[in-house]
Chains A and B, each alone.
Chain A
Amino acid sequence: MGVKDTGFVGFETKNETGLITTRLDEIVRWGRKNSLWPLPFGTACCAIEFMGVVSSKFDISRFGAELVRFSPRQSDMILVAGTINYKLAPVLKKIYDQIAEPKYVISMGACACSGGFYDNYATVQGIDQIIPVDVFIPGCPPRPEAILHAVMKLQERIDKEPVPKRGVHRRHEVVEKLRDT
């Protein structure tokens, strides 16, 4: 009996003992990408479209992102859906800062990505001027399939990112980086 592939990347099992052997990085990444709890920062009609994605027809829970949290302390991914104006910009920044690491940002719809058709005294011309964005979804509003595509793209990205070291090892890394700069 040789090594049998379980279907998950990096997961290998041996015999029928029920034991799985893998690398820690792999299982952390696998856990992160399949449990993206979204915080819907819905300010306009895009949020209505997001409701469709969460509901049974499109069902974002197939990608592990169905647990919509309305507290930044419980969520991993902020989904900015709608127009962000200059009055709201400090609120968005504050909420982003409150999310625990690792955190991801999806900018959904034309308004969040670029201000949409609003270019006036009130509207921020893209949330990437305030917070770092991982995936942009174009559309006004985007189709639910586009949102699912964005979640899949984000999962691909998480799959490739290095898992940060913890504790004293991470501290060494940070100190070295600071010394370089």
Chain B
Amino acid sequence: MATRETPKHDALVAELKNRFGAKILDVDRSFDDCTVIVDKASIHDVLAFLKNERRFNLLLDIAGVDCMNLPKFRERFEVVYMLYSIPDVVRVRIEVPVSELDLDIPTATDLWKSANWGEREAFEMFGFNFVGHPCLKRLLTHHEFVGHPLRKDYPLMGGQWCATTSDMTEELNEPR
């Protein structure tokens, strides 16, 4: 079954494949969604292309996936960008496989301001290092927290007692 977004997805996928070639590792069109799996080396180029030339002006979310123990996966982790274009009414999901041995990934904060907290959350939950992020520190967990709780090898009930309170001086002094 096709939706109103399907022809837009078709055009977008053809364009991305034409422009980035082998850097587009795979495309998943199940459930009428459009998921483009991109090589890490050119993720920033793909995101910049979508933002600047294809009007994807809204970054809805940045998520992480731990693929440990899954039957089929490319790398241990995945970073997932959920993009939406308000003028074109189309959404697309960009997935980037990230190796456990090299957690560096370029930041998207220069493209969307909303990437700031999304990347901080993905950093604290999975341990990705977003290179170029202005203030890459823990967002939801306590600053004394050790480890990355959404990794599958983190203990399920691994609460950690933290003693101090903290303020947000660093965030307030951030250039905007």
Contact = CB atoms under 8 A, between A and B. Distances in A.
Given A121-B158, A124-B159, A86 B142 contact: yes
Given A86-B142, A87-B141, A121 B160 contact: yes
Interface stretch (B16-24, B88-96, B162-170): B162-170
A161 to B, nearest CB: 31
A119 B161 contact: no
A9 interface: no
A90 B163 contact: yes
Interface string B147-166: 00100001111111111110
A163 interface: no
Interface string A106-132: 000000000000011111110000000
Contacts of B141: 86-87, 121-122
B87 to A, nearest CB: 38
A87 B162 contact: yes
Contact of B154 (A89, A121, A124): A121
Interface in B44-81: none
A165 interface: no
**Max chain B C-beta neighbours (<10 A), residue from A90, A120, A121:** A121
Contacts of B161: 86, 89
Given A86-B160, A121-B158, A122-B159, A91 B165 contact: yes
Interface in A101-157: 119-125
A90 B149 contact: no
A123 B159 contact: yes
B157 A119 contact: yes
Contact of A121 (B157, B163, B164, B165): B157
Contacts of A122: 140-141, 149, 159
A121 B162 contact: no
Nearest to B142: A87
A165 to B, nearest CB: 34
A94 interface: yes
A87 B166 CA distance: 9
Contacts of A121: 141, 149, 154-160
Contacts of B155: 121
B164 A90 contact: yes
Contacts of B156: 119-121
Given A86-B141, A119-B157, A121-B155, 4 more contacts: A86-B145, A87-B142, A87-B162, A120-B156
18 contacts: A86-B141, A86-B142, A86-B145, A86-B161, A86-B162, A87-B141, A91-B165, A119-B156, A120-B149, A120-B159, A121-B149, A121-B154, A121-B156, A121-B157, A121-B158, A121-B159, A121-B160, A122-B149
